[in-house]
Amino acid sequence: MFLLSGAGLALAACTPTQGPALGADGKPLPQVYRINPGDEQVISFRLLDSVNTLRGAKSLPPLAFDARLNAAAETHSRDMSVQNRPWHFGSDGSSPLVRVQRSGYTGQLVGELISETYQTELETLSAWMAQPDTRAVVMEPMARSVGFAWFQEPGGKIWWTLVTGT
């Protein structure tokens, strides 16, 4: 019995392991990033820490979450899903400025970033940082507050919104 078990383990070790599925370009195919209940704080603070690390590298002041900006971001993420399109206007015609005012935010709006993706929050931040206009929203020296939220559809698509203010 011991020899049979040993032979079985030896054969199992010879079986090739399956790596990620590759596309025609040889790169790994994207996988759906699932956000589980209870992951909200981990995801939010992982993004905030990353933003503040980027800002700190340029000697910019850190951002802090503002509950009112978080509420405006959450409202817009859900609304983009309902509209099934990533854009800065709400289904009621509201602009980012109107949404942050409705949430009770009294500071000045710096900017709003949006994304429709299946990627993680850090991959999304990386995409925002790769473009000069969206990077400017994250790196604006006057910004002091941030709101961040998302809505994930049952199929896995995530609608991300980040809002910064003074």
Q: Is the pLDDT of residue 142 over 80?
A: yes
Q: Is the pLDDT of residue 87 over 50?
A: yes
Could you write out the DSSP letters of every residue in 51-109?
Answer: HHHHHHHTTPPPPEE-HHHHHHHHHHHHHHHHHTS--SS-TTS--HHHHHHHTT--S-E
Question: Residues 145-151: what's their mean pLDDT?
Answer: 97
- The total of other beta-carbon atoms located within 10 Å of residue 66's CB is 22
In terms of DSSP bridges, do strands 145-152 and 109-117 run parallel, antiparallel, or are they unpaired? unpaired
pLDDT digits (tens, 9 = 90+) for 92-117: 999 999 999 999 999 999 999 999 99
Radius of gyration of the chain, Cα coordinates, nearest whole angstrom: 21
